[in-house]
A = this chain, B = another copy of it.
Amino acid sequence: MAVVVQNIERADRAVIDGLASAGVATVHEAQGRIGCLAPYMRPIFTGAQIAGSAVTISAPPGDNWMLHVAIEQLQTGDILVLAPTSPCTDGYFGDLLATSAMARGCLGLVIDAGVRDVRDLTRMGFPVWSKAISAQGTVKETLGSVNVPIVCAGQAIAAGDIIVADDDGVCVVRRTEAAQVLAAANKRIAAEEAKRARLASGELGLDMYEMRERLADKGLKYV
Give me the interface of A with B, judged by CB distance under 8 Å. 1-6, 24-25, 28-29, 32-34, 36, 38-39, 42, 46-47, 49, 60-63, 65, 68-69, 71-72, 85-91, 94-97, 99-100, 102-104, 114, 116-119, 122, 132-137, 139-143, 149, 151, 154-156, 166-169, 171, 192, 195-196, 199-202, 204-206, 209, 211, 215, 218-223
CB within 8 Å for A205 and B71 given contacts A86-B88, A136-B39: yes
From residue A130, how far is it (CB to closest CB) to chain B in Å? 10
A97, B209: Cα distance in complex, Å: 12
The one of B46, B88, B118, B211 in contact with A61, judged by C-beta atoms closer than 8 angstroms, is B88
The answer to whether B91 and A89 have CB atoms under 8 Å apart is no
The answer to whether B205 and A68 have CB atoms under 8 Å apart is yes
Chain B residue nearest to A105 in the complex (CB): B202
For A199, list chain B residues within 8 Å (CB). Answer: 96, 99-100, 103
